[in-house]
């Protein structure tokens, strides 16, 4: 995934670093015996050391993100990825 945007590193009321990012993904996928182009943008969130490390990366950087899906808020059922670890991705 490519880091596509951020509102910058912030902190929760308890002082925990938090970062909301927009990421973009583009690929060719096989479905029903045919190839199709997939292009998405999604919002992800990271906390603590992970948030601080991601905040230092330049936008446009290619990364592999790992974590878990959760709803965006108690009253907002929209899914978002909570990033718990990541690595820089080099396609070569």
CATH code, domain with 17: 2.40.50.140
Model's pTM, two decimal places?
Answer: 0.85
According to DSSP, the residues that pair with 64 across neighbouring strands are 87
The DSSP line for 28-63 is: EEEETTEEEEEEEEEEEEEEHHHHHHHHTSPTT-BE
For 59-78, write each residue's pLDDT tens digit: 999 999 999 999 988 899 99
For 38-57, write each residue's pLDDT tens digit: 999 999 999 999 999 999 99
Number of domains in the chain: 1
Residue ranges making up the domain that contains 49 = 2-88
């Amino acid at each position: 995934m490519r880091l596509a945007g951020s509102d910058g590193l912030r902190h929760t009321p308890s002082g925990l670093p938090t970062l909301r990012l927009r990421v973009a993904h583009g690929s060719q996928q096989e479905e029903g015996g045919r190839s199709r182009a997939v292009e998405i943008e999604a919002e992800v969130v990271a906390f603590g050391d992970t948030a601080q490390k991601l905040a230092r990366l330049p936008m446009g950087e290619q990364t592999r993100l790992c974590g878990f899906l959760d709803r965006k808020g108690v009253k907002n059922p929209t899914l978002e990825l909570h990033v718990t670890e990541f690595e820089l991705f080099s396609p070569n």
